[in-house]
Structure 1
């Protein structure tokens, strides 16, 4: 008696983990991070991104004909899409929890407030698309997003902010990231839209785990003032212990009208550092149709 081997393989087992089961049902991942490249717009307060190849293909060839290339990066930890650790900002010489800022950084690292202390995030994400709620394409330069704006946005979207959420505030300013030159996104002369102190206190009162925006400094920058005053950073990082994510790309997710999702982010475990480049992801359910996954 002859037998025929199966060419389809064994039937998939039923996952024991509900999360894995959900992934098999189908998900889509939206990248909320910016591409890193030489010359990209960034805060002038931080070392610029630089990438080079110290070894190129052909510089050294093995006997078997193989060759390899490798890279070297130089950059500040607050360049491109990144997260601010609690070590990043102090006020009146104090960090979050009342720690002495000088003592906390002895030895050139922040063991208790550094970015390595930020646990990987997988939680509910909320996009507050403020200009859409205001009937605009983008907030005006230097516009302060008010508490009334935030509340109107969550009400219209039917996405109330809950404790532990990561709240991403879209101003539309991210459209300036790829504008010619770097000045448009930096917005020193024009100002940059964002929340102010009252908006930051509203987010802290909602007990957000982290907040983010599509601009260079998260909060509103007044025309001509640059980074001379950052009250929202003080409220969030120093007073409330809430992490800040900056220079997000929120255009695709906003265009699709996605306001609630699973948010995934993990900083690099840079011991004692004040921040880290990140690649945030928005994961949404998208059931598999047809024949399923191949």
Structure 2
């Protein structure tokens, strides 16, 4: 087992104080048949308002470059092979009417690696997922029968970045450092960020920029992040998505009283709010921008739980 995997497992500490222990579920506010959750907040009006945030004509990728050496939540991995079909031994392809040569890709990968979106079928509790869907109803080996990421429409809207490293007066937060409602409110106020209904809210902790390349084992073994209190606060604001520049959003080890990754349950299962992980927010902040138009159109592979993504920030 890779050392970063062992380190991660050593850092995951489960604590169930304040976490639901009963099997319960409330139907979605968008109806008992809904599978889109907060994607229902994408509207022509919000899209046009987001267009108005484009002042410089810049487009910046929020996704990071990943490869076979990129650490990920165990046992996830990625393997890429570039092949030249029918061209072994220097042969050329003559079917095209000329001596052609070309490369193709073979990719064997988990799609929850690097920059990714978590769909509503990713995380549940007591066998239940978003909108009270039972695990045996949706979870088959050939792909989700409901809540698949392929169903998510393009996520387009206003996005904001809240710089939590700046808030705590640090270059980057350490693994296990967490923030909740009061910290989010204070940081947003100090940075003149207003969180509105339908927003994509991203947190910058500095973790990936400072640790992924220099200390990949440490990077994958823990992380700073939001706590359950913070996730409930954002859900109360009816946002579209919550993301961070970390690989898993919440603090690892978890905040005292929180179950590990329980904010996933709050956002995905309880509220239908999407999660965005390993968002490259640093370059945008250094450009003096914390509000922009967000555009995401993920690969539409039927039945996936997550997907590697590269959202675009336009400002």
1:134 Cα offset (Å): 2.5
Distance 1:24 1:178, change over 3 A: closer
> Where does residue 15 of structure 1 map in the other structure?
none
The answer as to whether partners of 1:57 and 1:68 remain within 8 angstroms in 2 is no
Cα separation, 2, equivalents of 1:206 and 1:25: 26
Cα separation, 2, equivalents of 1:134 and 1:156: 12
What are the ranges of 5 or more consecutive residues in structure 2 without an aligned counterpart?
A: 1-47
1:219-276 per-position Cα deviation (integer Å, ceiling 9, x unaligned): 11118x9xx7211001001101111011111221122221100011111112111011
2:168 aligned with 1:134: yes
Q: How does 1:157-236 map to 2 (within 5 A)?
A: 157-180=191-214, 182-186=216-220, 188=221, 191-222=222-253, 229-236=260-267
> Where does residue 105 of structure 1 map in the other structure?
139
Distance 1:221 1:25, change over 3 A: closer
The answer as to whether partners of 1:88 and 1:275 remain within 8 angstroms in 2 is yes
Compute the RMSD of aligned alpha carbons: 2.6
Name the count of aligned residue pairs: 260
What are the ranges of 5 or more consecutive residues in structure 1 without an aligned counterpart?
A: 1-17, 285-294
Distance 1:252 1:25, change over 3 A: closer
2:293 aligned with 1:259: no
Could you list the runs of 4 or more consecutive aligned residues of structure 1 that deviate by over 6 angstroms after TM superposition? 21-25
1:58 Cα offset (Å): 5.2
2:78 aligned with 1:49: yes
2:61 aligned with 1:27: no
> Where does residue 39 of structure 1 map in the other structure?
69
Cα separation, 1, equivalents of 2:232 and 2:111: 26
Highest CA radius of gyration, 1 or 2?
A: 1
TM-score (norm 2): 0.76
The answer as to whether partners of 1:142 and 1:221 remain within 8 angstroms in 2 is yes
Cα separation, 1, equivalents of 2:184 and 2:251: 14
Cα separation, 1, equivalents of 2:55 and 2:216: 42
TM-score (norm 1): 0.81
